[in-house]
Amino acid sequence: MSKQPMCFTDLANELFLDIFDYLRPLDIICSFYLTNPRLNQLITSLHFHIDMSNLSKDDFDYYCQHIFSSYQSQLYSLKLSNNGACGSIKLFLFQFNLQTSFPNLQSLAIIEPSVDEYQNIMKMLLTMSQLKHLSIKMTALSSVHCEIFSIQSLKTCILSYDGIISFQKIQSSLSSDIEHLTLDGFYLNEINLLFHHLPHIRCLIINKLSLRTTNFILSSTNLSIMKLNCDLSVRFHSIELLLTSLTQLKEFSFTANGNEYLNSQRWQTLLTSLPLLTKFSLDIITSSATSTDFDTLSSSFQTKFWQQHHWNFVVDCSAIGKFHLYTIPPRASFIQSLNSLRSTQISNIYNNIEYLYVKLNETFIHDDEALHRQNQFPNVHSLQLYPNTTIQTIPDVILFLRQTLDFFKLVHLEIFVCLSTLTFSQLLNNLPRIRYLKTDYDLLLDMTSNFQILDINMNLNKKIKKFVLRNGCLLEDKFEQFMNVFSNIEYLIFSVSSTTDLHYMVPKLVKRMPNLISLHVKHRNDKSQLSFGTNSTSQMPVWDDLWNNMYYQIYQDNIKVWK
């Protein structure tokens, strides 16, 4: 008896759920809904986690018109962003009320809302009882942050911003149930206020800790996890005062610049005062060359105390005598490689590093012995290359990088060192998955020989989907070549030196780049405001038939397009 052929729709529910984990809700619904009743029922039981950032305008509209309207109760996590999709938060808020439209929304991430959009969102969030996780990235957040701590349901809060957040503006009687808090700029002097307003906090991460005065008051807290990244205003003595009051700490991570933090005995004394501490991470880069001997420093962090706690260290030493001391494996996913002497040859200690910052040193690149002791970063997907000195050519840079990381995994590349045309061509040929490139205009022209190298042009055209010019202005005499090389680009950021160039370039880019999703053009040199027609600068530019199904925002010195 022959077996009946098995259909794809006959697969077990568990297999479909595994497949759905790799797909966007849009792809799940478009591909599987209405296939059969069983799959329909399975889809309507899913918890959707929807990322609305980096979507095309068409996909954004589909979510709003079809998915959000039909699957409102299934939305548990949402991410909205104006980066790469200018005006998308405004469009979303025009159609939906976060408080009434999504009754099960538990996690929300907002990236670069305007102040008006932020205030509109906060009015909704203050009445939501189910929201547990909130992440906001907003340049001006430090001046409008107080309402966040009034959201009583919050347990986790991640805030990213410019400047310093102050707790002095918060109403003294306010008490939040937040347990996990991540901040950017914060003054150590206000740590007691933070503990006062967040009495249940268990995990505190501060990405830029500063100190106004050496005097600060501490009260008891049940904080068990603390991660600090300090600027130069914070001295070791202040950290000692802080930690001796945090007797419940179980995990502590510390990053700073400064020679005084290389004192092993001082760290031992401090850590001994924390009886519950089991996890410790240290990352210190000296701000200047020191008289400390490399071997002496390395051995001071390999004593019995460190071995008993299984806290292992690596010391890197640069060619000019700067040290980088850090625990292994590194806790952070980002690391700066000094490309020189290393105190250990333990393998597999950098497996968690995803972002690598490298200063290429010409002497080191030509040092065969140094190449053999170079650190290995097998899982890096983002690489930044900077010079230590003025380097005209680095013949062995490909060999150096090949021995440092896995080319196949690299998708994000930033180059701010002058590579030869041959080296740049070889690099592109060896990076099959590269999608993002950021560099300076002059470097781009040098590395491509003014867009005259066919092999480089083809690689850029085929592989690069997001391109950013950090410095320099795209000029009209190279514009046609630039468009031909990057005709398949999806995300593009660059600067122009005049409104004339902007008027000339933007319409051509929008019309002739079929895959373009996001365009951001900055106006660098002219002092006058951008002007696109008879209306005010905040209104639509008068370009016939250009803006069909697109969204755009015009500011005093830049224009953003989303299509």
Whether residue 313 sits in one domain with residue 259: yes
Local confidence band at 529 (pLDDT 50, 70, 90 cut-offs)? low
Whether residue 377 sits in one domain with residue 294: no
Read off the DSSP letter of residue 3. Answer: P
Local confidence band at 347 (pLDDT 50, 70, 90 cut-offs)? low
**Lowest mean pLDDT: which of 251-260, 265-274, 373-382?**
373-382
Distance CA 166, CA 489 (A): 41
Read off the DSSP letter of residue 147. Answer: G
Distance CA 109, CA 80 (A): 6
Q: Which of 305, 331, 357 is the last residue of a domain?
A: 331
DSSP string, 419-468: --HHHHHHHHHT-TT--EEEE-HHHHHHHTTTTT-HHHHHHHHHH-SEEE
Whether residue 339 sits in one domain with residue 324: no
CA quadruple 164, 167, 169, 170: dihedral sign: positive
Residue 468 forms beta bridges with which residues? 438, 493
pLDDT in tens, 396-439: 788 888 888 899 999 999 999 989 999 999 999 999 999 999 99
Greater confidence, 532 or 404?
Answer: 404
Say how many domains are in the chain. 2
Whether residue 360 sits in one domain with residue 349: yes
Distance CA 280, CA 309 (A): 9
pLDDT at 374: 63
In a domain, 134, yes or no: no
In a domain, 485, yes or no: no
In a domain, 508, yes or no: no
In a domain, 422, yes or no: yes
Greater confidence, 9 or 97?
Answer: 97
Mean pLDDT of 341-349: 61
In a domain, 240, yes or no: no
pLDDT at 531: 53
What's the Cα-to-Cα distance from 263 to each of 120, 299, 300, 335, rounded to whole Å?
A: 50, 12, 8, 22
Distance CA 313, CA 372 (A): 20
Q: Which of 381, 415, 432 is the last residue of a domain?
A: 432
**Do 542 and 516 meet the contact criterion of CB atoms below 8 Å apart?**
no
pLDDT at 340: 47
Whether residue 286 sits in one domain with residue 356: no
Structural domain including 279 reads: 255-331
In this prediction the pTM is 0.88
Q: Which of 331, 362, 385 is the last residue of a domain?
A: 331
In a domain, 311, yes or no: yes
pLDDT at 295: 82
| Relative orientation angle of helices 236-243 and 264-272, to the nearest 10 degrees | 20
Whether residue 319 sits in one domain with residue 260: yes
Whether residue 313 sits in one domain with residue 260: yes
Mean pLDDT of 473-492: 96
Whether residue 341 sits in one domain with residue 324: no
CATH at 281: 3.30.110
Whether residue 400 sits in one domain with residue 352: yes
Mean pLDDT of 104-129: 95
In a domain, 220, yes or no: no
